[in-house]
Every structure is written in structure tokens, then in C-alpha cells.
């Protein structure tokens, strides 16, 4: 297929006020896209829109909302379609992160991650993709998964559940939507230096502990900038690539998983041991006893 472009296309981006979402919105604006932007943080979203318009970019619609709220997303879609027509590109970028071992994670933490990271993109897909199909112009769907949607990373059970789920949706839609000339890209970022680095919630671990601060600083040194990730995403879209990696290490790890399972298993065991050592040093509370002990 010929290269695609976002120039003069209506592009919806969720999570547009910070990190990868913000960088992608700015990159699309520079390429001449007509933007439809949303984020849960209204003031930050307004700031991004001001930056885009100050640079000569076009924002046709903006709305602060929580994508886990289906009614809010459906209402937004109705307003966009009534005022502007269907979108040409949908980018599911918004997400939250909660890490922890299963003995420390609360039910509320599990549910929140699932509602935002999995149900949120589903709400966006069901609200915008049917109109894209009906318009008959083709288009593109970008779903931002994660390295945790490929690999069994330590402490990532809730996050991985949602990112593997989004990967599954994308795998089906890449074939379902092909007949409508709608491409699908699955983005699998590794380390990206966004605000999420400082806000990720780790169940049962004191984020202010020097050990955690030291590893956070190390993570930042190896992470790519959001602008680098945004350019990778747009190049993937332009060339209709399904797998989109923002850094070479995740691409190599994915190859290792698929072709050298023994090496992959050993690598994940070593990573798990390292994470466990870190957690023991930075625990902020003891693990809860099993139910039988609590009954006594």
C-alpha cells in the first residue's frame, strides 16, 4: 500500500495532554492534521491546544473526559460526527499504570487499570470506528500497548492484562478492518521518559525510598523521549506497519521471546528476582496474611 499521511486528516488522540499523547498531537499538527483531542486533565489539555494553535496547527474539537466513561465517550463521538463528520485516524494513547504483586494489589487497583487501559480504548473504538467504516475513506487505528503487552514483566499483572487485551483486539481488527482499507498499528513502547515514570503506583512500595529513586533515575537515563516515540508511531502509520516499537531493545526482546524461549524465560526470572530484591528494600507495609490466618 502507498504511504499514508495525517496531512489534512481528522485525527483523534486520547491522552493528549502529556507524554506520548502530547508529543504525538504536536507531531501530527506539524504534519497538517486536523486534531480531535481528549484527556482527563482539562487544564493540561487546554495548554497543549494553545501550543498547537500558536504554532499554526488546527484543533477542531477538544474535550476533557475520562475514557473509562462510555457515555461520555459516546457523547463526544456524537458531537464530533455532527459538527465535523467521521475521523480518519484514531489513536488510543491514554492509560494508567499500577504495579505490584498479587498479594498487595487491591481489587480497586485491578479494576481501575482495566477500566481505563482496556475498556477505555474499547469505548473509543466502538464510538468512532463504525463511522469511519461507513464513510468509506479508509483510515487508520493506532493502539498503544506496551512492552508489558509482549513480555511477562515483574509486578505488571494488571497492566499486562490490559495491554495484552489491547494487543488481542488489535490482532483481530488488523484483519477485520483490512477490507475497509483501515490499517491497524500496535505500538509497544519500552522505556519512555514521561510523567508516568513519577506517578506509576506500586502497591506496597514506598516510592520515596532511596532505592526506588535510584532505579527511577536509572530508568530515565535509558528511556527515549516522548518525541522519539511519537515519530516512531507516525512512521509506523505512514507505512501501515502493524508492529511499532519505540526502541530497539523491546524489538529484540520480542524476537527473543518468539524464537529463543529458554533465553526469554531465564531473562524474565532474573528480572523478577531483581524486582523482588528492590521491593523488599522499599516495602512500606507488610503483606496481608492469608484469609485463614485473618479468621483466627
Residue by residue, DSSP assigns 175-197 as HHTGGGTEEEEEEE--SB-STHH
Contact present, 24 and 17 (Cβ < 8 Å): no
- What sign results for the dihedral spanned by CA atoms 93, 250, 265, 105? negative
State residue 206's pLDDT score.
64
Whole-number Å distance between alpha carbons of 99 and 150: 16
Name the β-bridge partners of 283. Answer: 205
Q: Exposed, middle or buried, 16 (CB in 10 Å: 0-12/13-18/19+)?
A: buried
Q: How many CB atoms lie within 10 A of CB 276?
A: 13
Per-residue pLDDT at 249: 86
Angle at CA 60, nearest 5°, toward 193 and 195? Answer: 15
Residue 261: what are its φ and ψ, rounded to 5°?
-60, -40
* pLDDT at 113 (0 to 100): 96
Intervals of the chain under pLDDT 70: 1-3, 195-199, 204, 206-207, 209, 211-213, 215-217, 219-220, 275, 278-296
pLDDT of 38: 98
Class of domain 10-288: alpha beta
Active site residues: 159
Which pLDDT score is estimated for 278? 65
What's the pLDDT at 268? 74
- Distance, CA of 199 to CA of 204 (rounded, Å): 15
The CA distance from 183 to 39, in Å, is 24
- The two beta strands, 89-92 and 139-144, are parallel
pLDDT of residue 287: 46
pLDDT at residue 292 in the model: 45
Q: How many CA atoms lie within 13 A of 103 on its CB side?
A: 10
H-helix or E-strand containing 41?
none
Which grid coordinates belong to 114?
Answer: 482495566
- Looking at residue 213, its pLDDT comes to 66
E-strand stretches of the chain: 10-14, 34-39, 58-64, 89-92, 98-99, 139-144, 182-188, 201-202, 243-245
Distance between CA atoms of residues 101 and 162, nearest Å: 16
Q: Is the CB of residue 250 less than 8 Å from the CB of residue 188?
A: yes
The model's pTM is: 0.85
Nearest C-alpha neighbor of 216 from the set 208, 228, 227? 208
> Are 16 and 25 in contact, with CB atoms under 8 Å apart?
yes
Amino acid at each position: 500500500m502507498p504511504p499514508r499521511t495525517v496531512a489534512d486528516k481528522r485525527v483523534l488522540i486520547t491522552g493528549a495532554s502529556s507524554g506520548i499523547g502530547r508529543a504525538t498531537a504536536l507531531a501530527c499538527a506539524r504534519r497538517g492534521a486536523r486534531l480531535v483531542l481528549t484527556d482527563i486533565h482539562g487544564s493540561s489539555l487546554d495548554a497543549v491546544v494553545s501550543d498547537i494553535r500558536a504554532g499554526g496547527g488546527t484543533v477542531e474539537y477538544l474535550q476533557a473526559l475520562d475514557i473509562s466513561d462510555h457515555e461520555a465517550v459516546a457523547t463526544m463521538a456524537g458531537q464530533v460526527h455532527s459538527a465535523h463528520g467521521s475521523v480518519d485516524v484514531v489513536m488510543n494513547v491514554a492509560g494508567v499504570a499500577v504495579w505490584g504483586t498479587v498479594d498487595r494489589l487491591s481489587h480497586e487497583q485491578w479494576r481501575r487499570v482495566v477500566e481505563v487501559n482496556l475498556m477505555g480504548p474499547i469505548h473509543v473504538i466502538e464510538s468512532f470506528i463504525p463511522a469511519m467504516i461507513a464513510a468509506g475513506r479508509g483510515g487508520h487505528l493506532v493502539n498503544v500497548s506496551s512492552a508489558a503487552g509482549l513480555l511477562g514483566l515483574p509486578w505488571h499483572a494488571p497492566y499486562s492484562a490490559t495491554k495484552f487485551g489491547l494487543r488481542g483486539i488489535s490482532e483481530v481488527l488488523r484483519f477485520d478492518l483490512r477490507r475497509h482499507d483501515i490499517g491497524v498499528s500496535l505500538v509497544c513502547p519500552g522505556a519512555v521518559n514521561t510523567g508516568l515514570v513519577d506517578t506509576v503506583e506500586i502497591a506496597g512500595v514506598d516510592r520515596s525510598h532511596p532505592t526506588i529513586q535510584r532505579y527511577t533515575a536509572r530508568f530515565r537515563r535509558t528511556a527515549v523521549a516522548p518525541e522519539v516515540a511519537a515519530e516512531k508511531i507516525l512512521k509506523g502509520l505512514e507505512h501501515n506497519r502493524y508492529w511499532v516499537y519505540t526502541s530497539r531493545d523491546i524489538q529484540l526482546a520480542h524476537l527473543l521471546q518468539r524464537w529463543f524461549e529458554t533465553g526469554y524465560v531465564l531473562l524474565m526470572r532474573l528480572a523478577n528476582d531483581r524486582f523482588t530484591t528492590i521491593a523488599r528494600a522499599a516495602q512500606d507495609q507488610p503483606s496481608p496474611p492469608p484469609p485463614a490466618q485473618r479468621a483466627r
